[in-house]
Structure 1
Amino acid sequence: MTEILMPRLSDTMEEGVISSWQKKPGDAIAVGDVIVDIETDKAVMEYEAYEDGVLGEILVAEGESAPIGAPIAVVVPAGSTVAPKEKAAATVPAAAPAPAPAPPAAAPPATTSPAPSRGTRPPSSPLARRLARDHGIDLATLTGSGPGGRIVRADIEAAVRASGPAPQLPAPQTPAPKVDDADVERVPLTRFRKVAARRLTESKRNAPHFYLTREVDAEALLAFRATLNTALAPAKVSVNDLIVKACATALREHPAVNVSYTEEELLFHKRVNVGVAVAVEDGLLVPVVKDADRKSVSQIGAETRELAGKARDGKLSAQEMSGGTFSVSNLGMYGIAGFSAVINPPEAAILAVGAVRDEPVVRDGQVVPGTRLSVTLSVDHRACDGATGAAFLARLAELLENPLLIVA
């Protein structure tokens, strides 16, 4: 018998939710088969089998969560089943450390205390245990309706209804607005929002941000893009693709920005991996273009579009969202002239890109039509000083204003 444990599918993952089981108890499993879809803080990801066998038992039902490392299912050799005692033992680690096991033939004591000990608590999902605590319900008084008698959320909700008048939901941790319920729609936070809120708060609290803004003459950049698109048709290159490539080139030349800060040392990254912020329904994801300094603009464009599509479909893998050393966030398509982005730890900097805009400029003492682009570099002052950031941004502006240098 082998337990399937909740895997760590992203750098920020703390727990996962079972989105859907692709196999049911009794189904044969071969190496590479998708057993379950797991929703993390970033996306829904497929979990594949690593050995042949039969799915003996599901320990965490669809819609329920479990922390990393907790058993979510049991796989048994073909032709065998999971005995009840094995099922009970398989669920104990997810709840609390079990006492020393009794001899295999021993039966439970005939008499027990009204309040069960931690070791004899009936099997239950993490969500069911939390709801039971919130409502003051003793799990030992319930009969589970889940696989193997496991107590699930529906059992707790039924017990709450049966107990008579009682709060339907736990009291919110923050005061609700003093308005009629008809005027408010309460939408629970997704894990995306919760994790993003925590990480961004930690970033602003722990990393002393400073900001450098530069106005770039974008006329040559737009002309160069048009030339590339004509030459590469039907493939297309966006302004953002050129910016990502320019950032990668500048990072290669200014490795002091391609770093991460720790309490003991600075980590100088040998690879230039640029994260590209993508807006999705539940928030923001940052897939990573690996080795962007070694790829052509057209390669970056194709890869970025593929990653963005996966992000919106919730199909990004953990590898596609990890390993970033620098990020680019572009809100120009929304007409935003300029903004300051929050650093994506453990990176040391992020570039915020505004809209390309037409406006009057002064050339040779004359006011003439011009095309401008505003970029703002957010920098972790623990990792980089102002002069380091300014030198990087100056080189970036030079590359964007002379785009042939980007592909040279």
Structure 2
Amino acid sequence: MSKTIQMPALSPTMEEGTLAKWLVKEGDTVSSGDLLAEIETDKATMEFEAVDEGVVAKILVAEGSEGVKVGTVIAIIAEEGEDVSAAAAGGASAPKAEAPKVDPVPAKAAAAPAVTAASTPAPVKAASDDRVKASPLARRLAEAKGIDLAAVSGTGPNGRVVKADLEGAAPAPKAVAPAAAPATALAVAPAAAQDFGIPHEAIKLSGMRKTIARRLTESKQQVPHIYLTVDVQLDRLLKLRTELNAGLASRDVKLSVNDLLIKALGVALVQVPECNVQFAGDQMLQFKRADISVAVSIPGGLITPIVTGVDSKGVAAISTEMKDLASRAKDGKLKPEEYQGGTASLSNMGMFGIKQFEAVINPPQAMIMAIGAGEKRPFVVDDSLQIATVMSATGSFDHRAIDGADGARLMKAFRELVENPLGMLA
């Protein structure tokens, strides 16, 4: 008996994806574990493996198809000994399968709750309309006029409702719109495009850009941000980095400043556990280790691969892991578990010469550290004014979960670790 291949849910929150490329063709024999296709989600491109063996009888969704819903039948596999032509013919009109259920996401990797809109709902179609015999034209007219077909007597063959039966029929009473939700729960509709005759190019939003827009809007609407900034002297860190790189040269490891800042944030979060948390409605999750999501710019958007257990890893291991994650992120080859989760984030724009900025929290996390450029500034060192390399670091905190005083303690711990870097290597 032939088997249907459905569009897989490659992450707990995936609802649709792009079938980027078929790696097999009709007539190919496949075994369990063979690669069937490349699927693009809003964050990465992943390879989809066969579960059963057989022959690819028919491909139902062409490669390059966008917006393919999870659970949609995309191909038919004929079992060994089965007539391939018969299997293909039977699957040509295969209906969309029910989307498979996905296990609930662990609390620390759960996506932020959707924003609820309080706009007036669309007219509700009568539940009985689909069971009433009516011509296609009559159905369209009834829907346009708001007429309940179940309340109309049909004069066509076998009681079929036709166009003439709708003349004089009264529209169904409109449902009363529910009371508006508080203003804080409203989703702000995007402004309509206005070009004013200015020459321009309309660029279609990618799935990634749509997700970024939605999640950041939700973050700013739902999460009360508080921002705390400290100036941090970098000279000792830069000196230590030079010494460590000299010692690691034989291992082909070259530490970046960002690698050391990731380590400093991880250690600081463990030292101030009140900031290594997540707001979860009627409770708060306090994490026992620091998993740092690091912002990486990729073509078309931004992704945050996660370095796990930063507080207990050596800086060489962090550097090696970060280079691998960043490389695969730019190639769209990260696995969902490599960018979903994390207990806090770090975003560094110093390489662009940005002195200071305030980053948007990445839900469901409760804090993100924004790193500015290190620059030579007049700075008081040992009670005297000197020239030092200084950077500004700004923490964005979810005020529902983290009080200002605790956020200040984290920023203090972070600054002390960067200014006395041997402490975070102990």
Query: What is the TM-score with the length of structure 1 in the denominator?
Result: 0.77
Partner of 1:86: 90
Question: Is residue 211 of structure 1 aligned with residue 227 of structure 2?
Answer: yes
In structure 2, do the counterparts of structure 1 residues 4 and 398 end up closer, same or farther at CA, with 3 Å as the change threshold? same
Q: Could you tell me whether the CA contact under 8 Å between 1:246 and 1:400 is conserved in 2?
A: yes
For residues 75-133 of structure 1, give each alpha carbon's deviation from its aligned partner in whole angstroms, at most 9, with x where no partner exists. Answer: 231232354673256324379xxxxxxxxxxxxxxxx98649x9xxxxxxxxxxxxxxx
Question: Is residue 383 of structure 1 aligned with residue 401 of structure 2?
Answer: yes
Partner of 1:69: 71
Instruction: Please give the alpha-carbon distance, in whole angstroms, between the structure 2 residues aligned to 1:77 and 1:6.
Output: 19
For residues 234-258 of structure 1, give each alpha carbon's deviation from its aligned partner in whole angstroms, at most 9, with x where no partner exists. Answer: 3100110001111111112222222
Alignment map for 1:180-259 (pairs within 5 Å): 183-233=199-249, 234-259=252-277
In structure 2, do the counterparts of structure 1 residues 225 and 11 end up closer, same or farther at CA, with 3 Å as the change threshold? farther
Shift of 1:355: 0.7
**Of residues 274, 282, 287 in structure 2, which corresponds to 1:269?**
287
Identity %: 45
Q: Could you tell me whether the CA contact under 8 Å between 1:212 and 1:389 is conserved in 2?
A: yes
Partner of 2:56: 55
For residues 293-349 of structure 1, give each alpha carbon's deviation from its aligned partner in whole angstroms, at most 9, with x where no partner exists. Answer: 221101000110111111111111112112211111000011111101011111110
Instruction: Please give the alpha-carbon distance, in whole angstroms, between the structure 1 residues aligned to 2:274 and 2:92.
Output: 54
Shift of 1:28: 1.0
In structure 2, do the counterparts of structure 1 residues 381 and 402 end up closer, same or farther at CA, with 3 Å as the change threshold? same
Partner of 1:128: none
Instruction: Please give the alpha-carbon distance, in whole angstroms, between the structure 1 residues aligned to 2:41 and 2:215.
Output: 15
Aligned residue for 2:210, secondary structure, equals helix
Question: Which range is displaced more, 61-70 or 23-32?
Answer: 61-70
Structure 1 counterpart of 2:62, one-letter code:
A
Question: Is residue 356 of structure 1 aligned with residue 374 of structure 2?
Answer: yes
Instruction: Please give the alpha-carbon distance, in whole angstroms, between the structure 2 residues aligned to 1:241 and 1:354.
Output: 15
In structure 2, do the counterparts of structure 1 residues 89 and 205 end up closer, same or farther at CA, with 3 Å as the change threshold? same
Partner of 1:3: 4
Which of the two has higher C-alpha Rg? 2
Partner of 1:371: 389
Q: Could you tell me whether the CA contact under 8 Å between 1:10 and 1:42 is conserved in 2?
A: no
Structure 2 counterpart of 1:324, one-letter code:
G
Aligned residue for 1:340, secondary structure, equals coil
Aligned residue for 2:48, secondary structure, equals strand
Q: Could you tell me whether the CA contact under 8 Å between 2:259 and 2:319 is conserved in 1?
A: yes
Instruction: Please give the alpha-carbon distance, in whole angstroms, between the structure 2 residues aligned to 1:37 and 1:173.
Output: 35
Instruction: Please give the alpha-carbon distance, in whole angstroms, between the structure 2 residues aligned to 1:32 and 1:84.
Output: 22
For residues 196-231 of structure 1, give each alpha carbon's deviation from its aligned partner in whole angstroms, at most 9, with x where no partner exists. Answer: 000000011111011010111111111111111111
Instruction: Please give the alpha-carbon distance, in whole angstroms, between the structure 2 residues aligned to 1:297 and 1:40.
Output: 32
Structure 2 counterpart of 1:303, one-letter code:
E
Q: Could you tell me whether the CA contact under 8 Å between 2:58 and 2:88 is conserved in 1?
A: no
Question: Is residue 40 of structure 1 aligned with residue 41 of structure 2?
Answer: yes
Aligned residue for 1:45, secondary structure, equals strand
Partner of 2:309: 291
Q: Could you tell me whether the CA contact under 8 Å between 2:73 and 2:96 is conserved in 1?
A: no
Aligned residue for 1:236, secondary structure, equals coil
Instruction: Please give the alpha-carbon distance, in whole angstroms, between the structure 2 residues aligned to 1:76 and 1:84.
Output: 8
Shift of 1:7: 2.2
Structure 2 counterpart of 1:185, one-letter code:
E
Alignment map for 1:116-195 (pairs within 5 Å): 174-179=192-197, 183-195=199-211
Q: Could you tell me whether the CA contact under 8 Å between 1:357 and 1:372 is conserved in 2?
A: yes
Q: Could you tell me whether the CA contact under 8 Å between 2:371 and 2:392 is conserved in 1?
A: yes
Question: Which range is displaced more, 386-395 or 250-259?
Answer: 250-259
Query: What is the TM-score with the length of structure 2 in the denominator?
Result: 0.74
Aligned residue for 2:355, secondary structure, equals coil
Q: Could you tell me whether the CA contact under 8 Å between 1:71 and 1:94 is conserved in 2?
A: no
Structure 1 counterpart of 2:404, one-letter code:
G
In structure 2, do the counterparts of structure 1 residues 364 and 405 end up closer, same or farther at CA, with 3 Å as the change threshold? closer
Instruction: Please give the alpha-carbon distance, in whole angstroms, between the structure 1 residues aligned to 2:306 and 2:12.
Output: 13
Structure 1 counterpart of 2:228, one-letter code:
L
Instruction: Please give the alpha-carbon distance, in whole angstroms, between the structure 1 residues aligned to 2:225 and 2:206.
Output: 27
Instruction: Please give the alpha-carbon distance, in whole angstroms, between the structure 1 residues aligned to 2:73 and 2:357.
Output: 44
Q: Could you tell me whether the CA contact under 8 Å between 2:4 and 2:75 is conserved in 1?
A: yes
Residues matched between the structures, number: 336
Structure 2 portions without partners, runs of 5+? 100-132, 140-189
Partner of 1:304: 322
- Any runs of at least 4 consecutive aligned residues in structure 1 with deviations exceeding 6 A, and if so which? none
For residues 271-313 of structure 1, give each alpha carbon's deviation from its aligned partner in whole angstroms, at most 9, with x where no partner exists. Answer: 3211111001111010111111221101000110111111111
For residues 44-70 of structure 1, give each alpha carbon's deviation from its aligned partner in whole angstroms, at most 9, with x where no partner exists. Answer: 111111222222222222122212233
Partner of 1:29: 30
In structure 2, do the counterparts of structure 1 residues 340 and 390 end up closer, same or farther at CA, with 3 Å as the change threshold? same
Structure 1 counterpart of 2:302, one-letter code:
L
